């Protein structure tokens, strides 16, 4: 249950906005829709589609890329820097004005059109953090095509699954990516994915990078610069507000990725609104989301929101440390006069580990920086306190998901700055009616932990479907508590109305801000011929937040040495999911603790692995096994 939002006075800017969004959602969001330019303005707020899904601004017409580019030129920002590319791994920087970026996008859209891409077609983008990745996304949007960006760290198998699901007409990729000081050839991964996939695209468009040239297959593979250089620019194609803008795959509890669908109209309105309310930005300022375009943060806050709002956005191809050192972020802030920095707590934990006293930070001029924003995983109080002490800046936690596309809860600095509480994402953002429910769907009192849910309708910008599977949308999010969206996170409100998110309630873990399915890892581990059964779950890690740990029971008569089996399990997960999974530890045990009905007690295993107190469940088949597991984990 959401308390009456505690401290803010009933006539405060936040409380007025929150109350209006709750009491008159249609009126509130139609007013916010006036923030952007429509080809045809909407007259309807929320409505239900044929699948029973709430949709926003159904009769409106627009183009997202036009809003992010052409509209900014019309507003007089043509010579303003739109995109700054900073790549310490290649030693290059580049800046694009709004006019220059618009021209690049229009010509790339022309090249895609020449390959047969049109409105409603899908395009998979498998690229590193280079300007062409941003250009490719916007070029798809300009044509009314639907892009699906796949993080460059994913293995060929994961890419193949997404290609089969999205069924793209074209794949955009690059010859290589660069990981600190290591060149990773992308084209062989793409070739392997296409060899595994049932669906075959008509063409691929490959960006040749000087660090590694790719071999192109005649007839299918095309050189990016050649095709774009020969293409004529194309105009933006009008689309309905409810037409899909992109598909972004997120880990599901079944191991099969869920293709979250984002629409054009609601997304554009939410992005513009959030830049002001959540981040307190002004057009013309410099916004840096230190993320990757493969994740939702990259979609929302590297590409779309800053450009739709008229800001300068930073695209950074590097790491918080080792490119070259723990001052990397501070160098970027100083170099480009960054006004707001948004990243995951993991990044600052890595910086803190290498520069605990902030000596490197002290060498840089951070006077342009107004606020630090963190999300993607829980902001632990020690990291919060370290940042606060060193920078003296507002350190603002906020909570959101791939599915929502923007902050469910935040410190709404664009309306009014609220007191910070370490460990809390502050208050629900206007438009999100957050409640804490028990197992029966009843609201809980402040201080009581339960399922964090959002009352329908969800505000604009949230998911409007699962690609190709409307039933999965309902069963994943809207069936457990009718009338509510199930976030999959647990948490509580305190007496002041501050929201605390305590972590996932399903088998999705958060590794350095990346959502990964332990169920999928279990499938890979269980497929090893020596493994009888296994359990993979997340354990706390000081640097990355969580890491996967596997407990493995071997088949009788397994001939390989246990160390060899563990090595093969680690290699198998890396091969099939990618290094991003960070699966490095598997422990061989005699048995797994189960209920009498055969259910593995993963929650208890997590508690044991984390050194937490636990209660022996009354349903356990053999309590003695918990002591054995505790000893085994301690000795390993």
pLDDT tens column, 286-312: 999 999 999 999 999 999 999 999 999
Please tell me the least confidently modeled range out of 366-375, 399-408, 429-438, 576-585: 576-585
Q: Model confidence over 242-253: pLDDT tens digits?
A: 999 999 998 765
At 6 the pLDDT is 45
Strands of 585-588's sheet, edge to edge?
531-541, 545-554, 585-588
Please, which pLDDT band fits residue 542 given cuts at 50, 70 and 90?
confident
Task: Give me the residues paired with residue 47 across strands.
Answer: 55
Identify the sign of the CA torsion 234, 235, 240, 242: positive
- Decide: 360 and 348 in contact? Cβ < 8 Å: no
Domains for the chain: give ranges and CATH numbers.
1-318+398-473+490-506 (3.40.50.12780), 513-635 (3.30.300.30)
pTM confidence score:
0.85
pLDDT band at 3 (very low <50, low <70, confident <90, very high): very low
Distance, CA of 302 to CA of 316 (rounded, Å): 10
**Residue 81: its pLDDT value, please?**
98
pLDDT digits (tens, 9 = 90+) for 494-538: 999 999 987 777 667 788 877 677 767 887 898 898 887 788 988
> What is the pLDDT, as a whole number, of residue 595?
59
Quote the pLDDT of residue 555: 82
For residue 57, what pLDDT is reported?
98
How far apart are alpha carbons 568 and 219 in whole angstroms? 38
In the chain, pLDDT over 90 holds for what percent of residues?
A: 72
Query: Is 295 in contact with 302 (CB distance < 8 Å)?
Result: no
More confident residue, 354 or 185: 185
- Residue 272 CA to residue 61 CA, distance in Å, equals 17
Band of pLDDT at residue 599, cut at 50, 70 and 90: low
Strongest mean pLDDT among 4-13, 406-415, 436-445:
406-415
When pLDDT is cut at 50, 70 and 90, the band that residue 598 belongs to is: low
Pairwise CA distance, residues 303 & 15, whole Å: 30
pLDDT digits (tens, 9 = 90+) for 87-119: 999 999 999 999 999 999 999 999 999 999 999
User: Residue 539: helix, strand or coil by DSSP?
Assistant: strand
Residue range 51-67: mean pLDDT, rounded: 96
Look over the chain and give the mean of its residue pLDDT values, rounded to a whole number: 92
Nearest Cα to Cα of residue 252 among 397, 429, 466:
466
**Range in 385-394, 490-499, 547-556 with the lowest mean pLDDT:** 547-556
> Region 161-178: what's the mean pLDDT?
97
Residue 5: predicted pLDDT? 42
Show the tokens assigned to 572. 């198998």
pLDDT score for 597: 46
Length of the chain as a residue count: 636
Taking phi over 0 as left and psi of -120 to 50 as alpha, with beta for the rest, 342 belongs to: beta
Distance CA 21, CA 552 (A): 50
What is the number of other CB atoms lying within 10 angstroms of the CB of residue 388?
16
What is residue 51's predicted lDDT score, i.e. its pLDDT?
Answer: 86
């Amino acid at each position: 249950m959401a308390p009456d939002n505690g401290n803010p006075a009933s006539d405060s800017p936040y409380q007025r906005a929150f109350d209006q969004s709750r009491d008159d959602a249609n009126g509130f969001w139609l007013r916010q829709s006036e923030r952007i330019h429509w080809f045809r303005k909407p007259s309807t707020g929320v409505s239900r589609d044929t699948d029973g899904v709430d949709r926003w601004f159904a009769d409106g017409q627009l183009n997202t890329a036009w809003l992010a580019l052409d509209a900014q030129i019309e507003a007089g920002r043509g010579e303003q820097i739109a995109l700054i590319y900073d790549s310490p791994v290649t030693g290059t920087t580049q800046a694009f004005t709004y006019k220059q970026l618009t021209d690049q996008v229009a010509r790339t859209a022309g090249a895609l059109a020449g390959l047969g891409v049109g409105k409603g077609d899908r395009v998979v983008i498998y690229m590193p953090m280079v300007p062409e990745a941003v250009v490719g996304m916007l070029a798809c949007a300009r044509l009314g095509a639907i892009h699906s960006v796949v993080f460059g760290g994913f293995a060929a198998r994961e890419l193949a699954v997404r290609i089969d699901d999205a069924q793209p007409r074209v794949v955009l990729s690059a010859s290589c990516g660069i990981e600190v000081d290591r060149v990773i050839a992308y084209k062989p991964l793409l070739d392997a994915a296409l060899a595994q996939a049932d669906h075959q695209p008509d063409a691929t468009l490959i960006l040749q990078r000087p660090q590694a040239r790719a071999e192109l297959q005649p007839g299918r593979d095309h050189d990016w610069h050649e095709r774009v250089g020969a293409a004529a620019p194309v105009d933006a194609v009008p689309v309905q507000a409810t037409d899909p803008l992109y598909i972004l795959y997120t880990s599901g509890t079944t191991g099969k990725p869920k293709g979250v669908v984002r629409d054009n109209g609601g997304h554009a309105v939410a992005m513009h609104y959030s830049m002001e309310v959540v981040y307190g930005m002004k057009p013309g300022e410099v916004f840096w989301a230190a993320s990757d375009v493969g994740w939702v943060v990259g979609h929302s806050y590297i590409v779309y929101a800053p450009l739709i709002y008229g800001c300068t956005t930073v695209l950074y191809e590097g790491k918080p440390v080792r490119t070259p050192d723990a001052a990397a972020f501070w160098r970027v802030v100083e170099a480009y006069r960054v006004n707001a920095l948004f990243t995951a707590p993991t990044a600052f934990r890595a910086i803190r580990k290498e520069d605990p006293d902030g000596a490197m930070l002290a060498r840089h001029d951070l006077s342009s920086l107004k606020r630090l924003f963190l999300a993607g995983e829980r902001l632990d109080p020690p990291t919060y306190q370290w940042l606060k002490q060193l920078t003296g800046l507002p350190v603002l936690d906020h909570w959101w998901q791939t599915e929502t596309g923007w902050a469910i809860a935040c410190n709404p600095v664009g309306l009014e700055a609220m007191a910070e509480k370490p460990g809390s994402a502050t208050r629900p953002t206007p438009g999100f009616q957050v409640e804490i429910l028990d197992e029966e769907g009843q609201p809980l009192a402040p201080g009581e932990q339960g399922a964090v849910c959002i009352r329908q309708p969800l505000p604009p910008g949230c998911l409007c479907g699962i690609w190709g599977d409307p039933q999965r949308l309902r069963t994943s999010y809207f069936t457990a508590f009718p009338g509510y969206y199930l976030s999959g996170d647990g948490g509580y409100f305190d007496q002041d109305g501050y929201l605390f998110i305590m972590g996932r309630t399903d088998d999705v873990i958060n590794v350095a801000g990346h959502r990964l399915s332990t169920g999928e890892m279990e499938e890979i581990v269980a497929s090893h011929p020596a493994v009888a059964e296994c359990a993979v779950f997340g354990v706390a890690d000081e640097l990355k937040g969580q890491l996967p740990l596997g407990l493995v029971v071997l088949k009788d008569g397994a001939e390989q040495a246990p160390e060899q089996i563990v090595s093969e399990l680690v290699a198998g997960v890396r091969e099939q999911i990618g290094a991003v999974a960070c699966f490095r530890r598997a422990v061989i045990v005699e048995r797994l603790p189960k209920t009498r009905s055969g259910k593995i007690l993963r929650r208890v295993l997590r508690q044991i692995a984390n050194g937490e107190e636990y209660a022996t469940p009354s349903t356990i088949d053999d309590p003695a096994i918990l002591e054995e597991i505790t000893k085994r984990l301690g000795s390993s």
